[in-house]
Amino acid sequence: MTGDGQRRLEACWQYFDPPRRLNKSTLDGYVAQTKQQQAALDACRTYSPGDIQAGHGLFLFGPYGTGKTHLAIATVRNLMEHSPNLFGVRQRDTGIYDPAREDYRGLCCSFFSVVDLLDAMRPGSESKREMGDWLFHRAKADDLVILDDIGAEKATDWVAERLYAIVDIRYRMNRATIFTSNLSEKQLQDQLGGRIVSRIFEMTEQVPVIGPDHRRKMA
Ligand SMILES: Nc1ncnc2c1ncn2[C@@H]1O[C@H](COP(=O)(O)OP(=O)(O)O)[C@@H](O)[C@H]1O
Ligand SMILES: [Mg+2]
């Protein structure tokens, strides 16, 4: 990769902002121990920039510790490493001129833990509100968004309404989303309501990630 490509990749990865523990997740580093995990790995390997542009997403679901979050992050890493020039970052307008700022135009990708995103969006101080609004905007508008561990949040009307706002606009605007979840379709419906879940299932290919709990193995 050229120096420019590397700089761009770093900027896009910083903007993507995956959790540090999983920052180095790669598809090559994913060990498929079951047929379902192999099929899931294949689905992630074939996920392409064309899928992002077409608004095609993935719904990675299964028990804890099977590598759902790992796969979601590694999928984005794989795309960005292959074609850094297709990706870009959204600039937050702070009103302050920054001469060092690079404006990379291209597909913007964001990672959100659903629980953390909702926490950031909860009403609070003025400074918190600005950050919450910015993250909410990215969650609605970016070209590819990972919504990690949907269904893990405590179900309230406010939560269901905020998540609906995100999912519905992504659905209507045909924006690609990769969801991970520990819940089945039925459990997710109980948690979030049928109108969100029917949209999620239309927006995605459903990919079971079923295998042993990798965290236990490591312990
Ligand atoms: N099949 C796998 N191959 C390699 N590493 C894995 C695999 N499954 C999980 N891991 C690792 O185990 C940890 C937990 O995985 P994670 O993706 O957070 O699981 P999940 O989201 O399914 O609960 C991470 O450090 C991840 O990199
Ligand atoms: Mg996870």
Is residue 95 included in any domain, yes or no? Answer: no
Residue whose CA is closest, atom 25 of ligand 1?
A: 22
Q: What kind and span of H or E run contains 9? A: helix 3-16
Residue whose CA is closest, atom 27 of ligand 1?
A: 70
Q: In what order do the strands lie in the sheet with 57-61?
A: 109-113, 144-148, 176-181, 57-61, 204-208
CATH of the domain at 71: 3.40.50.300
Q: pLDDT tens digit string along 20-53?
A: 999 999 999 999 999 999 999 999 999 999 999 9
pLDDT of residue 217: 67
Is residue 117 included in any domain, yes or no? Answer: yes
In sequence order, what are the residues at sequence separation of 6 or more whose Cβ sits closer than 8 angstroms to the Cβ of residue 192?
A: 150, 151, 155, 160, 163, 164
Which-ligand-closest: CA of 64?
1
Q: Is a pLDDT exceeding 90 seen at residue 120?
A: yes
Per-residue confidence at 102, pLDDT binned at 50, 70, 90? Answer: confident
Q: How far is the CA of 59 from the centre of ligand 2 (A)?
A: 12
Q: pLDDT tens digit string along 167-181?
A: 999 999 999 999 999
Classify residue 176 as exposed, middle or buried by CB count within 10 Å of its CB (0-12, 13-18, 19+): buried
Per-residue confidence at 126, pLDDT binned at 50, 70, 90? Answer: confident
Name all residues whose Cβ lies below 6 A of ligand 1.
22, 25, 29-31, 37, 64-70, 180, 214-215
Is residue 219 included in any domain, yes or no? Answer: no
Test site for ligand 1: of 70, 111, 114, 149, most ligand atoms within 8 A of the Cβ: 70
Whole-angstrom distance, CA of residue 46 vs CA of residue 4: 26
Q: Which domain holds residue 180?
A: 3-18+34-89+104-213
Tokens 């913007």, residue? 108
Is residue 45 included in any domain, yes or no? Answer: yes
In sequence order, what are the residues at sequence separation of 6 or more whose Cβ sits closer than 8 angstroms to the Cβ of residue 47?
A: 58, 75, 79
Is residue 98 included in any domain, yes or no? Answer: no
Per-residue confidence at 81, pLDDT binned at 50, 70, 90? Answer: very high
Number of domains in the chain: 1
Classify residue 76 as exposed, middle or buried by CB count within 10 Å of its CB (0-12, 13-18, 19+): buried
pTM check: above 0.85: yes
Is residue 99 included in any domain, yes or no? Answer: no
Is residue 84 included in any domain, yes or no? Answer: yes
Q: Is a pLDDT exceeding 70 seen at residue 197?
A: yes
HSE of 146, CA atoms in CB hemisphere, 13 A? 26
Atom of ligand 1 nearest to the CA of 211: 1
Strand partners, 207: 60
pLDDT of residue 35: 97
Is residue 199 included in any domain, yes or no? Answer: yes
Which-ligand-closest: CA of 113?
2
Q: Is a pLDDT exceeding 70 seen at residue 9?
A: yes
